[in-house]
Amino acid sequence: MKKEILQFLVNAIQNEKTCALITVVCSSGHAPGREGFSMAVTEDSLLGTIGGGTIEKNMVNKARKFIAQKISEPKYFHRIHKISAGENSSGMICGGSQSVVICPINEKSLSVLEECLSAFENSTPKVFCISSSGIQCLSEKRHENYSFANMKENDWLYEEVIDQRNRAYIFGGGHVCLALSPILSSLGFRVIVLDERPFINTITENSNINELIISPFETLPNMVKEGENSYAFIMTPSHLHDETVLRGLLHKDLKYLGMMASKTKVAEIFEKLRKDGVSEALLFRVKSPIGLSIKSKTAEEIAVSIAAEVIQIKNSS
């Protein structure tokens, strides 16, 4: 669940608008909508997606009927993406299936939504729950980000961990950082830029920075929080700083570690590290040159290639 969806619903309630939340609670095969895809809908506006296509159009129409008819109970729909599926067909032919819940949202839901929003503000995970009786927000731990149990027609439970799970640590706030930040932000990352230059224009112009840390490059790796949700991108203004930051990050537990560099610079830095006793296993973890090989040249193209590599890594496990 994106922060923007929750905020949209809160704003709608505060403006005395009736609204509904549409959520994909389960999917299989080539379904365009995956677990956690969601939409916020009012009678005249919407935000988000459940995968597009006919199923999205139909579910939005149903949600607006719920709003018009003042239906208050959530409803579960299972749709199969085959024409031959009869009344359960989504009208699409891509194969697979997805289960969708339409949940009416009203003023009684406000406190739950605001509690879920707090997970983004203070980095404390919450569990957002939808069942046939409505929505809840729990302060409990879950091993899986998404879970769905369908016991019978009117007895089901969907749970989703709400927090700012992924952190992007970008070392060097230059032009590629400026191009990469909005892409990572749109993918749900908390963007943390680390540099020793506080007033360069590419930092002051970057409106997608969630946190800016200014300190000598030698000390900046110490600011990184380790774990499966941490991604580090090295793109400092010099070879020396790149090597310094890489040395500080090599032994950290990170989901992704990439360094922007030419093949020549990579070979030079890696050879220095080998002479200092750094193992091949640690060097193998480093994605460098950074990004997928798509012949990117401009800062914007490089940012796209980096984001593509991150998506590949993020979705591989």
**DSSP structure class, residue 90:** -
Sheet bearing 126-131, strands edge to edge = 134-138, 126-131, 155-162, 146-152
Residue 279: both structure tokens together: 């193992």
Domains of the chain plus CATH, in order, are 3-162 (no CATH), 167-314 (3.40.50.720)
164 neighbors 121 (Cβ within 8 angstroms): no
Are the C-beta atoms of residues 302 and 296 closer than 8 Å to each other? yes
The pTM for the full model equals 0.69
Q: Quick one: 23 exposed, middle or buried, by C-beta within 10 A (0-12, 13-18, 19+)? A: buried
> Which of 153-167, 226-240, 249-263, 281-295 has the weakest average pLDDT?
153-167
Token pair in block for residue 284: 């193998």
Q: Return the pLDDT at 317.
A: 60
Partnered with residue 128 across adjacent β-strands are: 137, 160
Q: Quick one: pLDDT band at residue 295, thresholds 50, 70, 90?
A: very high
Q: Give the single-character DSSP code of 288.
A: -
Euclidean distance between the first and final Cα of the chain, in Å?
Answer: 19
Provide mean pLDDT across the span 210-214: 92
pLDDT at 34: 86
* Tens-digit pLDDT profile for residues 92-148: 667 788 889 999 998 989 999 999 988 877 767 889 999 988 999 998 888 788 899
